[in-house]
């Protein structure tokens, strides 16, 4: 008998599973928000990480003949 819900253990299994899932979701969201906040504090949240390193580091200027 679960004294908080006044019902049997089998009856509260669904509620426990839902609360376990909710707790995991909230923990994951909180952890992601903490990570994002730490990046914001370090002023690293604006850094774009999807640029390929080879194309970003070529560094040569394009000639007018290559553009047109």
Are residues 45 and 39 in contact, defined by beta-carbon separation less than 8 angstroms? yes
Task: Look at the pTM and tell me if it is higher than 0.85.
Answer: no
By the 10 Å C-beta count (0-12 exposed, 13-18 middle, 19+ buried), 50 is classed as: exposed
Average pLDDT for 28-49:
85
Q: pLDDT digit string (tens) for 2-13?
A: 566 666 777 788
> What is the pLDDT of the chain when averaged over all its residues?
78
Q: Distance between CA 40 and CA 20 in Å, rounded? A: 30
Helices (H), the chain: 9-41, 53-56, 64-67
The helix (H) or strand (E) run that includes residue 45 is none
Are residues 48 and 56 in contact, defined by beta-carbon separation less than 8 angstroms? no
């Amino acid at each position: 008998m679960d004294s908080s819900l006044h019902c049997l253990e089998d009856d509260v299994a669904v509620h426990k599973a839902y609360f376990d899932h909710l707790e995991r979701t909230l923990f994951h969201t909180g952890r992601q928000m903490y990570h994002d906040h730490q990046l914001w504090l370090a002023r690293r949240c604006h850094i774009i990480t999807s640029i390929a390193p080879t194309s970003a580091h070529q560094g040569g200027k394009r000639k007018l003949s290559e553009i047109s």
